[in-house]
Chains A and B, each alone.
Chain A
C-alpha cells in the first residue's frame, strides 16, 4: 500500500501526473452534478488532531465527489479525551475497515508513524512544523495554471513565518522539483536555524525582492506555535515583512500573490491585497479539492501494484 507523507515521496513524473489528473477533476468539479462513482465503496477517514477548516473540508469534499464514504473523527468528542493513544485510536478505526486515512497532527512524523501501523493509505494533511504535501501540490498546480506547465526559472518568494511553517517546507521542495527559484524572506528569528539542504536562498529584505519576483507566497504568523515571541510586535512585523497596499503597488505587473490560509488580515497581508485582482487565494482553495481528488484517486484506484511511489 502506498502513502503521501512528504513531497519527498514524489519524483517529477509523479508530481506531473497528479497535476494532469487534477485537470480532469477540475472538469468534474465544474459540472452541475460534481460527482463521479470512481471510488465507490472505499472508506476515507479524516483524523484531525489540530483545528482546520479548509484542509479537512477540502479532503472530505474531495472524497465525497469521488463517491467514497467519509468518516470524520473529531478529537474533541472521542476517546482521545479518555487518554487513548494515537496507535490505539488508529488501530481501532482501521479495524472497522478503511482504505485511506487523512491525518493532521501537531507532532512532526505522526503521519509516517501511522503509515507503519496500518495497512490503509495514509495522507499527511500537516504534521507539526514538518510537511503539508497537498498544500504544496495545490500551490504549484495554481501557479502552473497561470504560468503554463513549465515553471523552471520562475522566481518565487516565500515570505513570513517560515520557521513554523510546514507549508513552506513542502512548497520549497515541490517548487524546486519543478525548477523554480525560491527565496525565503523573513527575519532571522523566523527562518529555520539552518538552511543546509534547502534548495533555496534567503534574505531579510522584502523590499529588495518586490520588483523581482513572479510569485509572492505569504505565510501565516503561527500564533499557536508562539511565533510572536520571535519579533517585538505584530505591528513591527507588518511594517517590515507584511504585504501592505504600498508594497503590493511595487510588485511587477504580472506578479501573483498567494496565501495558504487562514489569513491574519492586516498582519502578513493587507485585506485590500488579499481581495485584490492579483490574489489567487480563492483559486488555491478551489484547486485544493481537485488536487486532493487526484491524490485519493491515485492512492485508491490502482489495485495491487498500481499507485504512487512511496
Chain B
C-alpha cells in the first residue's frame, strides 16, 4: 500500500537515506547489541501517512460523525491526536480522542513484567460509536487483542477498526489492521522504532534497528513477508 515511499529504500547506509537526521537516535539501553539499519519513514513521510489514514477513515465511515479515536499507550494517543487534527482540517469535524491502557488485559501477565503506562481516559461513551484503535506498530496482534477486551468492558461500540503506522508482520493472532501507514517486512529479531516529538522529544521518524553483526543489513524481510 505504501511500500514505495522514498524512506523505505533498502540496502544503503543511513547517511544516504535521508539528510534530515543523519545521526540515529542513541539508545543506551541496547548495550551495543542493536545497531541502526535504516530510516524507514521521515517526518514528512509520517505527516503524509497520518493525512492519508485520516482520509481513509473518513472515506470508509462516510464522514467523521460518530467516530472516536482511541490511542494505545504510549505513542497511540499522540498519533490519534494528529489524525484527529488532519480530519478537522479537511472535514471540519472535531473527532474525540481518548487513550486506552491495555496492561490489565494482556495475555502475558505473570510471564514478564507488565507495566501500565497511564490511566485510561476516553472522553465519550464508546457505545454505538465507531471506535478506531490507533497504535504505532502492529506485530503479533496481542496488544490489539487486549485492546478489544479493554474496550468491551467500557461499552459496546458499533464497530471497532484498527489504524497503525507500521505493520511489520509476524502475526500470532487472526488480527489485521484497517488502516496502515506502511507495510514493512522485517526479520523477527529486528526492531522497528517509532519516534515522535510529542512522546520522545526528537524529530518524527521511524527507524529499523537490528542485532549487530548478523549481516542482515538489507532487511530483506524473509520471515515477515505477508
Contact = CB atoms under 8 A, between A and B. Distances in A.
A binds B: yes
Interface of A: 21, 23-24, 26-28, 31, 33, 35-39, 66, 297, 300-303, 305-307
A303 B104 contact: no
B119 interface: yes
Interface in B178-216: none
Contact of A37 (B101, B104, B118): B104
Interface string B89-118: 000000000000101110001111110101
Given A24-B101, A36-B105, A31 B154 contact: yes
A302 B113 contact: yes
Nearest to A293: B104
27 contacts: A23-B119, A24-B101, A24-B103, A24-B116, A26-B119, A27-B120, A27-B121, A28-B104, A28-B120, A31-B153, A33-B153, A36-B104, A37-B105, A37-B149, A38-B104, A38-B109, A297-B104, A300-B110, A301-B110, A301-B114, A302-B110, A302-B112, A303-B112, A303-B113, A305-B113, A306-B112, A306-B113
A36 B112 CA distance: 18
A301 B116 CA distance: 11
Contacts of B119: 23-24, 26-27
A66 to B, nearest CB: 8
Contact of A301 (B101, B109, B153, B154): B109
Contacts of B104: 24, 28, 36-38, 66, 297
Please name the 6 residue pairs, one residue from A and one from B, whose CB atoms are nearest each other, closest first: A306-B113, A36-B104, A38-B104, A27-B119, A24-B116, A302-B113
A297 B110 CA distance: 10
A26 B121 CA distance: 12
Query: Mostly helix, strand, loop or mixed at chain A's interface?
Result: loop
A36 B104 CA distance: 6
Nearest to B146: A37
**B105, B113, B121 — most chain A CB neighbours (10 Å):** B113
Given A23-B118, A301-B113, 14 more contacts: A24-B101, A24-B120, A28-B120, A31-B154, A33-B153, A35-B153, A36-B153, A37-B149, A38-B103, A301-B110, A302-B112, A302-B114, A303-B112, A306-B113
B115 to A, nearest CB: 8
A82 to B, nearest CB: 36
Contacts of B103: 24, 38
Given A31-B154, A33-B153, A37-B105, A24 B113 contact: no
B111 A303 contact: yes
A36 B149 CA distance: 10
A184 B87 CA distance: 58
A116 to B, nearest CB: 24
Contacts of A33: 153
A39 B111 CA distance: 12
A28 B102 CA distance: 12
A303 B106 CA distance: 13
A201 B119 CA distance: 37
A99 to B, nearest CB: 9
Contacts of B110: 300-303
A37 B112 CA distance: 16
A20 to B, nearest CB: 8
Contacts of A307: 113
B190 to A, nearest CB: 25
A38 B106 CA distance: 8
A37 B152 CA distance: 12
Nearest to B121: A27
A302 B108 CA distance: 9
